[in-house]
Amino acid sequence: MMNPVLSLALRSSLATALKQTLPKATSVSVQNARQLSTETNASKGPWFDLSDEQKSMLDMTEKFAREEILPRAAEYDKSMDYPQDIFEKSWDLGFANSTVPVKYGGLGMGMVDRCLTGEKLNYACSGIATAIGSNGLAQSPLILFGTEEQKKEFLGRCTSEKIQVAYAVTEPGTGSDVAGITTKAEKNADGDWVLNGQKVSF
């Protein structure tokens, strides 16, 4: 198991690097696109070079996928057990909370870096990669719409405890089709929110 101090330092340095990386990458991309528009051969389109920080992050992600996930993938396919031990190791590196803002203890990854690391994890096993990344499904509504108090409490819990987060989507008759969800939250005459609908577990 990774040393907690080393893990915290690694997650902190990754988060800092990623915060600095994305604005730089965006700036370079825009500059490249403008330059291309003035060239005779503009058919190449813009290009997006990875920063040194991103390359290091991807090397570490691939190493984790190759050494921790790949050798166990077939075993978990057969047993259909939840890969708790791998999840906990991924949590140590911040993967289970990769999009949680740094101020709440996450890596604060943007979508580009999330896709890049996701590709590396899925190369080893898409099922285990989904188990690692599924926390983001429940965390996203909090990140986008939660109050500061909710973010501190629930996102803070995600980054301080090795937990899996759940959210209610599946409904009788529509399954997990988010476009078909009928559950609604409506304000009543007193100004309170009332949640009406049905959810099912499987």
3-class DSSP state for residue 154? helix
Expressed as residue numbers, the domain containing 189 is: 168-202
Claim to verify: residue 10 and residue 81 sit in the same structural domain: yes
Strands 193-196 and 184-187: antiparallel
How far apart (Å, rounded) are the C-alpha atoms in residues 68 and 26? Answer: 32
Encode the chain (202 residues) as per-residue pLDDT tens digits.
Answer: 444 444 445 555 555 544 444 444 333 333 333 343 344 444 566 767 888 888 999 999 999 999 999 999 999 999 999 999 999 999 999 999 999 999 999 999 988 899 999 999 999 999 999 999 999 999 999 999 999 999 999 999 999 999 999 888 899 988 888 899 999 999 999 999 999 999 987 6
Claim to verify: residue 98 and residue 177 sit in the same structural domain: no
Residue 44 lies in a domain: no
Claim to verify: residue 181 and residue 83 sit in the same structural domain: no
Claim to verify: residue 131 and residue 114 sit in the same structural domain: yes
Claim to verify: residue 186 and residue 110 sit in the same structural domain: no
Residue 46 lies in a domain: no
In sequence order, which residues have a C-beta less than 8 Å from that of residue 68 and are 6 or more positions away? 86, 89, 90
* Count of domains for the chain: 2
Residue type, 164: Q
Residue 75 lies in a domain: yes
pTM: 0.69
